[in-house]
Amino acid sequence: MLRTRVASIFSDTAWTPAMRAETGLNRAKGRVDAQTEALFRVVHAHTLAKTGKRRAALAEAEHARALLTAAPGDEVPFWALAWGPPAASVYSRTAKVHETLGDHRTAAEQYALATTARPADTYARIVALDLVAGAEAHLKRGSIEQACATWHRAIDHMDGVRSVRTRKAVSRMRGDLARFRARGLRCVTELDERGRVFLADT
């Protein structure tokens, strides 16, 4: 079974991440639907980006995106739905590809697509974390206003969520905002206070 074969690849400590991604993709091609293949391809794209293969990484990410629309009606195996709709996972990982390559504008755009592709009620924590990542991408490209707006949306989705990762994300957010407090920016002051209250209440 393909799921078992792929699981054995990812559990073998002798394999590097790049080897795992490439071998997993090679074993999946022709054996899974287009959307599931897109998942394997975007993971491979991320490993390519991490090893500095920019052109190959972008080409593989684009191939993954194209596969999402190749056969949208195909049945997707249950194990490929662990993080929600494949499209959302592809967008989120594509964002990481661009982030790794230093293109924070495109990363923010892809994170935004990921948040709209997942049912927010079912995947509130994941949506919140994608929004956090998008806010951080906005901040890295110097757009503090967009970063604050996106962080506010992230905290909206954290309502009722109890997660170590969301608490860490808000703590990290307050740290990132520290250098902007002295400027007296209203959006920063309001967001920092909201973060303080969130951490106190969770």
Percentage of residues in the chain with pLDDT exceeding 90? Answer: 65
Higher pLDDT, 14 or 133: 133
What integer pLDDT is reported at residue 123 of this predicted model?
A: 93
- How high is the mean pLDDT of the chain? 87
Across 117-121, 134-138, 143-147, 169-173, least confident range? 117-121
Enter the pTM of the model.
0.85
Average pLDDT for 46-69: 94
What integer pLDDT is reported at residue 84 of this predicted model?
A: 86
What integer pLDDT is reported at residue 58 of this predicted model?
A: 97
pLDDT at 132 over 80: yes
Average pLDDT for 105-123: 95
Average pLDDT for 110-120: 95
What integer pLDDT is reported at residue 28 of this predicted model?
A: 59
Average pLDDT for 172-194: 92
pLDDT tens-digit profile of 5-30? 444 444 444 446 666 766 666 565 66
Helices 144-157 and 164-181: crossing angle in degrees, nearest 10, is 150
pLDDT tens-digit profile of 67-100? 988 766 667 878 778 888 999 999 999 999 999 9
What integer pLDDT is reported at residue 9 of this predicted model?
A: 41
What integer pLDDT is reported at residue 5 of this predicted model?
A: 47
Q: CB–CB of 44/53 below 8 Å?
A: no
Look up residue 188 and give its two tokens. Answer: 């920063």
What integer pLDDT is reported at residue 33 of this predicted model?
A: 84
